[in-house]
Structure 1
């Protein structure tokens, strides 16, 4: 409070008296006399009343700090960031340049193949706040190796490694190598390790599951042991068997469920378009390219509705892990799914142009085989368009309820289709007219003359559109289908649990609010086209950014807002200069640490992509 004090002072001065004579003129004024000495100060006056309080200022946008944790070799993406409960950080080097030749001192091998690894010798649960960024690579050695701010990057395995020293515990076919279901023929050596998920069996032992993103895809499992210096050794190696679910396609990012099972995501391009949900040329005899999926099932023609789901690896530590595809979570280009602490609510991101943010709520905790699927409807902040300040309120549009068994029967309806069923200009699978009829609440599917599919023409309506053609179903029901490369989504389970329940999950810290973080690789195309629910400016464009979503007491997302954006997109320069190397460039995977900091992996334009550590303002 500002105290106003009134100080009284008296000045002594000469007084001049003007005397007027009776009936005479006034005399001239005499000269002013000298100023007298200042008298003693009077007592302070009473304090005035406090002024009225001003209005609260607007909430500031989060403006935290980015620290470069590591850079990966030339040509590579940073993928598979996974932080264990013990504080170990795994991440991968996806498709590095095969000409990289530098041999780093720690591993003694070049990183010129798909590489699975870990930052050894550091506990990220105890990571200090004052770590200094690793440098932007300058020398050829730095450009061709992993340069880190903390720890040493330990290579655990590379594409084609057989681990021959493990004897019958090794992998004769090679790490990341996929085989067909029929004839067990070698299909592909995969250079694209993506998601990592660690299932501990003790404090210093467990199984590392790694996605291999290709067509067809796969998942490897390495049994690991950690010594007292924090470095790791491999005890067993295997590729998970997906034959019981007709193989898998483009296994991208993923997560580990709260009950300890890896959830691997099929990011296979589902071939959706404006006019036809499944491309009419899929079974065209003149164009039989099916993204390599025919190599899984040959001589049978692949059914596209068998791919594009979340697959759960159950019994993950057993000799033969089992795989269940959860058709209930919907079919689209899955980046990854995250299960909330209620063990029922699942969020899933669609990595494509015109994508949807989905929510699934299971009927029973820890059982994803039955429940209800939703799509997010966004309302953009009025009067705003710059990606750095523009958020969205979220409502959830119910699509349908279903279970794996029922949906599997719908999928099987399309198994017998092959090139002999092809009709030029028409799809042999679900048509846009089918999905529109479902969205309109029709009692029956349209006839073929009305644009319906031959499989369901004239049949009573069911909910297969919601689960087999989820993007188009959500769009027609009013959900926002405008995300562009909606990438990794992540929570810290303990922080969310404590924020919602008040249960103390994190020692020495009281958390009252927690968020789901969302990586967006590109803020362009359908997000900036001046149409629909998302109408952002093109300032950031291909540099992308990081969002966070508010979680309410029912584990529902209510608002999405920007946290940190990439730099202004610079069209006047080429290559790496398009996005500032000191800022985000196409963030991909995200991981939330126990203390609220966020780890972000880049899939950007830079010569050497970065693994960032973001510390939110006020964390």
Structure 2
């Protein structure tokens, strides 16, 4: 994803995986040799034949298994144009794979099908069902020519552009977009603030096998979300019939809508990022309302003439009744305030996991009081214990405990947030904070009965008042850290499950045809294994060998939809600090993986947010490990 200047990058180690040969059958005829996998080694020999009765020859051994993919097991499904990140990965129940071209270079000039990739682009791979994808896909080549470097190249399917920044869909008349995709207006001024090239999360809400609504985040400051009503023809190509930008005015607008997910009950969950200050020893920046500081200008423009309350931003927002003419939006303060990458809801429709994309981030869990209702519940932070004697990212895992932070409801938290609405630049005092302070969070963590006074370092809104749980929901990272959760992740990016696989593993229902799923995982993308993950301090103390090439982890899910352990799945190559640019990470391995999605058959699709000349959309099969 597009990040602030302080966002760095990290890397990881690749795992070479091979098939093995078995023993010949004793007395019985030797089983047939397995079919050779794509660039893989020979299949496993058949099982030993059984001795026949009365001296008869034994039966043939079973056929050998196909060999696993050779090399790293990664298949390059597609590459995106110069300057772009791969964002918006979403796989529908009908097998359609959506992904976006985020902030491509504006110098790109090559056109395909009348489209030039010099602005943010939303698209889909057509002509292929990714829910029935063969295993003999050959990688798309690394772009070599200038033309190849400026387009989307794919190993399978054709990339169809659905919309680009500024598109108004004039052919739809009144059903088009006023101003265009990715264009954001002030709540009060109704003036254009920004048009951005950062389409991120996609979420598709199907209304039939061939129709539905595509929701796309536009990651900017302020943020936004578009909705395209679409239909698919018999050739698999899409047509747009309605287009709009979702109205967030009722929730005071949004800040940097990053990745997201679709809940099991069919509502998009969009994530607010960027706006929260989670540096190691600080809460909301004391200079937020400093009149000499310009960092709030984007949000000020959104709500002008009113000064923005920082505690109104940094949450998961749910789009209710998503297919209606005017969808409703609710921010779930209960899931906590931090730099959300995305949240994933488990099949119990109560358990939610959320990732914090920052330096020193936390993996959070929220358990709702009631299914399909995220408005009240309990927030937790993950406490990790690293495998003893190991520190290489390719082999080092972590056991997980959960630290309870607090229980609350949207209604109660909204009351606390309102108390900060009237703070403006006129209230700024140099050297003091107008908001929640670290002294406030420490007092809460220590179990104090009242908030500290201003003289003791407390914030003016709560000074001397009875203690409550506002810090757990408004300054969630610091609250989790002081309660003992691990606050050391570096760019904890996308998290993903396949709902059917998880449900089958937990309930035993037969949901995945042709496979018995008895173990399920949540997959986690880490763009940078660096900084707080490699500083030889705290709960995470990994080696620096991988650094800015990144990797993908998985977390085991138990029968209560609880995460119990995190372990590496596939890592990028060794970081080469002596080189510059894209060469620092092997172009044929991962380079700063961002978001991950899990296919029905257990394979994973990984999008890069890296410094390669052309970032890659990868396919990886964990079974090859």
TM-score, shorter chain, exceeding 0.5? yes
1:285, distance to aligned residue in structure 2 (A): 1.6
2:563 to 548, 557, 566: 557
Deviations 1:430-464 (A, max 9, x none): 00000000000001000111100000000000000
Cα 1:618–1:612 shift into 2, 3 Å: closer
Q: Is the 8 A contact 2:340 2:354 kept in 1?
A: yes
Within the alignment, does 1:403 sit opposite 2:409 as a pair? yes
Cα-to-partner distance string for 1:122-174 (whole Å, 9 max, x where unaligned): 10011000000000000111100000000000000000001000111111211
Is the 1:268–1:307 contact (alpha carbons within 8 Å) kept by the matching residues of 2?
no
| CA distance in 2 between partners of 1:289 and 1:558 (Å) | 39
Cα deviations by residue, 1:539-570 (Å, 9 ceiling, x for unpaired): 01010100000000000000000011111000
In structure 2, the CA distance between the partners of 1:604 and 1:274, relative to structure 1 (3 Å rule), is: closer
**How far has the Cα of 1:618 moved from its partner?**
4.8
The question of 1:154 aligning with 2:160 is answered: yes
1:347 corresponds to 2:362: no
CA distance in 2, matches of 1:190, 1:369: 31
SS in 2 for 1:79: strand
Indicate the residue corresponding to 1:533 in structure 2.
Answer: 539
Residue 596 (structure 1) aligned with residue 596 (structure 2): no
1:192-231 alignment to 2 at 5 Å?
A: 192-231=198-237
How far apart, CA to CA, are the structure 2 residues paired with 1:511 and 1:286?
A: 58
Output the CA distance in 1 between the equivalents of 2:284 and 2:190.
29
Match among 59, 82, 101 for residue 109 of structure 2: 101
Shift of 1:268: 2.3
Q: Does 1:315 align with 2:321?
A: yes
2:481 pairs, out of 466, 475, 481, with 475
Structure 1 residue 425 displacement after superposition: 1.1
Counterpart of 1:259?
265
Distance 1:186 1:299 in 2: 15
Is 1:442–2:468 an aligned residue pair?
no
Work out whether residues 63 and 564 of structure 1, in 8 Å CA contact, stay in contact via their aligned partners in 2. Answer: no
Q: Is the 2:87–2:100 Cα contact (8 Å) retained in structure 1?
A: yes
Per the alignment, do residues 345 and 468 of structure 1 end up closer, same or farther by CA in structure 2, a change over 3 Å counting? same
Select between 508-517 and 528-537 the one with higher mean Cα deviation: 508-517
Task: Give the aligned partner of residue 89 of structure 2.
Answer: 81
Match of residue 67 from structure 1:
75
Equivalent-residue separation in structure 1 for 2:281 and 2:82 (angstroms): 40
**Structure number with bigger Rg:** 1
Distance of 1:488 and 1:152 partners within structure 2: 25
SS in 2 for 1:465: helix
**Which residue of 360, 373, 379 corresponds with 2:385?**
379
Displaced runs of 4+ in structure 1, greater than 6 A? none
Of 570, 573, 581, the match for 2:579: 573
Displacement of 1:390 after TM fit? 0.3
Counterpart of 1:295 in structure 2 is 301
- Give the C-alpha shift of residue 180 in structure 1: 0.4
Tell whether the 8 Å contact from 1:63 to 1:617 is kept in structure 2 after alignment: no
Q: Return the offset for 1:473.
A: 0.1
1:52-81 deviation line (CA, Å, top 9, x unaligned) = xxxxxxxxxx99611000000000000000
Contact persistence 2:72–2:589 (CA under 8 A): no
Partner SS, residue 481 of structure 1? coil
SS at 1:373's partner residue?
strand
Contact preservation (8 Å) 1:523, 1:541: yes
Deviation at 1:617, TM superposition (A): 2.6
Unpaired segments ≥5 residues, structure 2: 1-22, 25-69
Counterparts of 1:111 and 1:63 in 2: how far apart (Å)? 32
**Length-normalised TM-score, structure 1:** 0.89
Matched, 1:91 2:99: yes
Structure 1 contact 358–376 (Cα < 8 Å) conserved: yes
Secondary structure class of the residue paired with 1:168: helix
Give the 3-state SS of the residue equivalent to 1:281 in structure 2: coil
Q: Structure 1 residue 272: deviation in Å?
A: 2.7
Q: Of residues 277, 280, 287 in structure 2, which corresponds to 1:281?
A: 287
Higher relative contact order (CA 8 A, sep 6+): 2
**Closer, same or farther: CA 343–305 of 1 in aligned 2, 3 Å:** same
Look up the SS of the partner of 2:298 in the other structure. Answer: coil
Q: How does 1:323-342 map to 2 (within 5 A)?
A: 323-342=329-348
How many equivalent pairs are there? 558
In 1, distance between residues paired with 2:514 and 2:303? 54
Residue aligning to 1:615: 621
Q: Give the Cα separation in 2 of the matches to 1:618 and 1:63.
A: 10
Query: 2:437 maps to which residue?
Result: 431
